[in-house]
Amino acid sequence: MSRSRALLICLALALTLALISTPALADPVLKMASTTSTANTGLLDYLADLFKKDTGVELQFVAVGTGKALALGANCDVDVLLVHAPAAEKKYVDEGNGVDRREVMYNDFVIIGPPEDPAGIKGLKVTEALAAVAGKKAPFASRGDNSGTDKMEKSLWKAAKMDVPEKESWYVQTGQGMIKTINVATEKKGYTLTDRGTFIKFADTHKGNPPLKILVEGDEVLFNQYSVIRVNPDKCKQVKTDLALKFADWIVSEATQAKIGEFKLLGQKLFIPNAKK
Amino acid sequence: MGGSLDYIWDGLITAVGLLVRLDPETFSAVAATVKVSSMSMGLSLIIGLPLGFALAQTRFPGRRAARTTVDTLLSLPTVVIGLLAYTFISRRGPLGGLELLFTLQGVALAQTFLALPIVISLTAAAVEGQDRRLRQTLLTLGASARQTARSTLWEARFAVLAAALAAYGRVVSEVGISMMVGGNIKWHTRTITTAIALETGKGEFGMGIALGVVLMIWAGILNLLLAWLKKRSEP
Is a pLDDT exceeding 60 seen at residue B156?
yes
Which residues of chain B neighbour A63 with C-beta distances below 8 Å? 184
Which residues of chain B neighbour A79 with C-beta distances below 8 Å? none
Domain assignment of residue B14, yes or no: no
Domain assignment of residue B136, yes or no: yes
- Determine, for residues B42 and A62 on separate chains, whether the beta-carbon distance falls below 8 Å: no
Phi-psi region of B35 (alpha: psi -120 to 50; beta: other; left: phi over 0): alpha
Q: pLDDT over 90 for what percent of chain A?
A: 77
Q: What's the CATH code of the domain at B104? A: 1.10.3720.10
Domain assignment of residue B201, yes or no: yes
Is a pLDDT exceeding 60 seen at residue B29?
yes
Please give the pLDDT value at position B210. Answer: 85
Q: Once rounded to an integer, what is the mean pLDDT over residues B60-64?
A: 88
Helix (H) or strand (E) holding A60: strand A58-63
Of B160 and A194, the one with more pLDDT: A194
- Determine, for residues B35 and A21 on separate chains, whether the beta-carbon distance falls below 8 Å: yes
Is a pLDDT exceeding 50 seen at residue B63?
yes
**By mean pLDDT, which of A208-212, A261-265, B109-113, B223-227 is the weakest?**
B223-227
Q: How many domains does chain B have?
A: 1
Q: Once rounded to an integer, what is the mean pLDDT over residues A157-167?
A: 92
How does pLDDT run across B90-117, given as a tens digit for each residue?
988 898 888 899 999 999 999 999 999 9
**By mean pLDDT, which of A67-76, A104-113, B135-144, B201-210 is the weakest?**
B201-210
Of the candidates A251, A265, A193, which has an alpha carbon nearest to the alpha carbon of residue A185?
Answer: A193
**Residue B111: domain span:** 23-233
Q: Which amino acid is at B187?
A: W
Any CB–CB contact under 8 A between B126 and chain A? no
Helix (H, G, I), strand (E, B) or coil at B211: helix
Domain assignment of residue B3, yes or no: no
Q: pTM (2 decimals)? A: 0.81
Domain assignment of residue B1, yes or no: no
Residue of A17, A180, A205 lying closest to B39 (CB–CB):
A17
Q: Which amino acid is at A177?
A: G
**pLDDT tier, A15 (very low <50, low <70, confident <90, very high otherwise):** low
Please give the pLDDT value at position B155. Answer: 82
pLDDT, mean over chain B: 87
CATH code, A108-223 = 3.40.190.10
**pLDDT tier, B12 (very low <50, low <70, confident <90, very high otherwise):** confident
Q: Once rounded to an integer, what is the mean pLDDT over residues A55-77?
A: 93
Please give the pLDDT value at position A89. Answer: 95
Please give the pLDDT value at position B58. Answer: 84
* CA distances, B183 to each of A31, A162, B5, B113, B128 (Å): 11, 36, 33, 18, 40
Is a pLDDT exceeding 90 seen at residue A40?
no
**pLDDT tier, A21 (very low <50, low <70, confident <90, very high otherwise):** low
Helix (H, G, I), strand (E, B) or coil at B233: helix
How does pLDDT run across A202-223, given as a tens digit for each residue?
999 888 899 999 999 998 899 9
Please give the pLDDT value at position A175. Answer: 87
Give ranges for CATH 3.40.190.10 in chain A.
27-107+224-273, 108-223
Residue of A3, A62, A205 lying closest to B183 (CB–CB):
A62
Whether residue A110 contacts residue A150, with contact meaning beta carbons closer than 8 Å, is answered with no
Q: From the candidates B38, B53, B148, which should be mutated to test the interface with A, based on the most A CB atoms within 10 A? A: B38
Which residues of chain B neighbour A34 with C-beta distances below 8 Å? none
Residue of B42, B92, B201 lying closest to A180 (CB–CB):
B201
**Buried b / exposed e along B200-231 (16+ C-beta atoms within 10 A):** bbbbbbbbbbbbbebbeebeeebeeeeeeeee
Domain assignment of residue B211, yes or no: yes
- Determine, for residues B101 and A77 on separate chains, whether the beta-carbon distance falls below 8 Å: yes
Helix (H, G, I), strand (E, B) or coil at A34: strand
How does pLDDT run across A166-198, given as a tens digit for each residue?
889 999 999 888 998 999 999 899 999 999 999
Residue of B39, B185, B198 lying closest to A60 (CB–CB):
B185
Q: Once rounded to an integer, what is the mean pLDDT over residues A105-129?
A: 95
- Determine, for residues A21 and B104 on separate chains, whether the beta-carbon distance falls below 8 Å: yes
Is a pLDDT exceeding 60 seen at residue A34?
yes
Chain A residues near any Cβ of chain B (below 8 Å)? 1, 3-4, 10-15, 17-18, 21-22, 31, 40, 45, 60-63, 75-77, 176-177, 179-180, 183, 201-202, 205, 236, 238
- At a CB cut-off of 8 Å and minimum separation 6, what does A111 contact? A121, A126, A129, A191, A192, A193, A214, A215, A216, A217
**Cα torsion angle, A80, B177, B112, B223, sign:** negative
Quote the ipTM score.
0.76
Please give the pLDDT value at position A1. Answer: 46
At the topology level, CATH places domain A27-107+224-273 in D-Maltodextrin-Binding Protein; domain 2 (3.40.190)
Residue of A10, A17, A62 lying closest to B184 (CB–CB):
A62
**pLDDT tier, A232 (very low <50, low <70, confident <90, very high otherwise):** very high
- Determine, for residues B92 and A75 on separate chains, whether the beta-carbon distance falls below 8 Å: yes
How far is A145 from A176, CA to CA, in rounded Å?
A: 7
pLDDT, mean over chain A: 90
Domain assignment of residue B43, yes or no: yes
Of A86 and B140, the one with more pLDDT: A86
Q: How far is A254 from chain B (nearest CA, A)?
A: 27
- Where are the alpha helices (H) located in chain B, listed in sequence order? 3-20, 24-57, 63-73, 78-89, 104-128, 132-140, 145-155, 157-173, 176-177, 192-199, 205-233
Of B94 and B233, the one with more pLDDT: B94
- Determine, for residues B185 and A177 on separate chains, whether the beta-carbon distance falls below 8 Å: no
Q: How far is B64 from chain A (nearest CA, A)?
A: 30
Please give the pLDDT value at position B127. Answer: 85
**pLDDT tier, A45 (very low <50, low <70, confident <90, very high otherwise):** very high
Whether residue A37 contacts residue A202, with contact meaning beta carbons closer than 8 Å, is answered with no
**By mean pLDDT, which of A58-72, A73-87, A167-181, B195-209 is the weakest?**
B195-209
How does pLDDT run across A134-149, given as a tens digit for each residue?
999 999 999 998 889 9
Q: pLDDT over 70 for what percent of chain B?
A: 96
Please give the pLDDT value at position A25. Answer: 56
